[in-house]
Amino acid sequence: MTPGLGDQPIVEAAHGAAERAARTQGLALAAATFVIAAGLAAARIGHGAPDFYVFWAAARHWQAPYDPAVVAQLQAAIHLQGVWPFVYPPTFLLFVWPFAQLPLTLAYPLWTALSAALFVWEASRRIRPVWAAAALWAVPPVFFSAALGQPTLFVGAAMLAGWRLAERRPHLAGVIFALAACMKPQAMILAPVALFGNWRALGAMLAAGAALAGASLAFGLGPWLAWPHALAAFAQIAPAAERTNPSALIASPWWSAALAAFGVMFAWRNKNLLGMAAGALWLTPYAHDYDLAPLAPLAVSWLIERRRGWGPAISGGALLAGLVASPLASLAFLGSLTIFGSPLWPAARRAAADAPALSPGAYASGAE
């Protein structure tokens, strides 16, 4: 039965009650995530080598965060093996510095718990039913990002929040996107393309990014002068590292240029979370499987809703199962998203015809 005009207040009240219940469930999931992540991180200290150790050491030595002696000192103190350079931008220090004022045994669990809780909270605003967001705990890219203390979950939470607010509160969305870009700029490299047309969000992002860059001068000009040298040194060792990005398949500038062009077109066609996050993976010269974590909430939604058929659901299932863990697998995954989102794909045509206002955004849709 279709509600009549007189039933509108009842329908709105029921919708409001459902949204309040969903937010309560989301908060409960986020709180549980915080406790679980903090406990696991605390138990992991002394076992393995989370990336956060390097961030923490660099922020404690903010006067010269890119000095190899900083990491060498850390390696000697905790018997850390391997190569662990710090190459994040000076703006990243703004986020890590407060944690660096704490002992590592407290800073690492707190960083991990906050990033995981924020990510699950934002994912719960998109995934329906809400409890399905708990599946993210077992997704390899999400789990490893949290375990390593990577900033990827903070960035993913910011992406989710930014797109949730992009239409209703574009200035706030832009500020949130700027926070993500100042943490992990390679993940936000296609933000100007994905946000093209939403000038208020894009303008706010640029303004907030400039403000954060200015704020990072509180650490002095030295980090900014040293950062390009750190990037150049990292570029020399990156080809030998394990990577997931498709450009790692072939060591050719032509291959990289072709992938970059494809990524720009992908982001232009999908001006949403999918275009921003997946498009960047086409471009970046360095990515691990944990960099796929921002796409995990979308993958859960594709698997549950199947709005565009089983194609995206199967691709999303591969990501959730941890199968997208090599350059070739990443290329296949990103290629499948391109095909399944194309008008040439029958289910995509049907979805666009049924809900033209949601296309192409419907491909990255979910509850708000």
In angstroms, the Cα distances linking 186 to 51, 107, 161, 314 are 17, 25, 18, 27
Quote the CA–CA distance of 299 and 313 in Å, as a whole number: 7
What is the model's pLDDT at position 361?
Answer: 43
Q: Is residue 9 part of a domain?
A: no
Q: Is residue 10 part of a domain?
A: no
The residue with greater pLDDT, 342 or 98, is 98
What is the model's pLDDT at position 32?
Answer: 97
Quote the CA–CA distance of 140 and 295 in Å, as a whole number: 12
Instruction: Quickly tell me which residue has 């009650």 as its tokens.
Output: 17
Instruction: Determine the structural domain holding residue 323 and report its residue range.
Output: 17-364
Provide the percentage of residues in the chain whose pLDDT is more than 70.
Answer: 88
Q: Is residue 198 part of a domain?
A: yes
Of 366, 368, 362, give the one whose Cα is nearest residue 340: 362
Written as six digits, the tokens of 60 are 């404690």
In angstroms, the Cα distances linking 216 to 67, 149, 183, 202 are 18, 22, 12, 21
Q: Is residue 184 scored above 50 in pLDDT?
A: yes
Where residue 115 falls among pLDDT bands split at 50, 70, 90?
A: very high
Quote the CA–CA distance of 83 and 229 in Å, as a whole number: 16
Share the mean pLDDT of the chain: 88
Q: Is residue 156 part of a domain?
A: yes
Neighbouring C-beta atoms of residue 101, cutoff 10 Å: 9
Lowest mean pLDDT among 77-86, 258-267, 283-292: 77-86
Q: Is the peptide bond before 129 cis (omega within 30 degrees of 0)?
A: yes
Instruction: Quickly tell me which residue has 């002696």 as its tokens.
Output: 69
CA atoms within 13 A on the CB side of 247: 24
The residue with greater pLDDT, 8 or 155, is 155
pLDDT tens readout for residues 2-22: 454 444 454 445 567 778 889
Q: Is residue 115 part of a domain?
A: yes
Instruction: Quickly tell me which residue has 């049907």 as its tokens.
Output: 350
Q: Give 148's contacts (C-beta < 8 A, 6+ positions apart).
A: 50, 51, 52, 290
First and final CA of the chain: distance in angstroms?
25
Q: For the chain, how many helices (H) and strands (E)?
A: 17, 0
Q: Is residue 255 part of a domain?
A: yes
Q: Is residue 270 scored above 70 in pLDDT?
A: yes
The residue with greater pLDDT, 15 or 257, is 257
Segment 281-304 shows an average pLDDT of 94
Segment 191-196 shows an average pLDDT of 96
Contact 279, 203 (CB under 8 A): no
pTM: 0.90
Report which secondary-structure segment, H or E, holds 308. none
Report which secondary-structure segment, H or E, holds 204. helix 199-215
Neighbouring C-beta atoms of residue 78, cutoff 10 Å: 13
Q: Is residue 359 scored above 50 in pLDDT?
A: no
Where residue 150 falls among pLDDT bands split at 50, 70, 90?
A: very high
Q: Is residue 5 part of a domain?
A: no
Q: Is residue 232 part of a domain?
A: yes
What total of structural domains would you count in the chain? 1
What is the model's pLDDT at position 351?
Answer: 53
Contact 92, 180 (CB under 8 A): no
What is the model's pLDDT at position 74?
Answer: 85
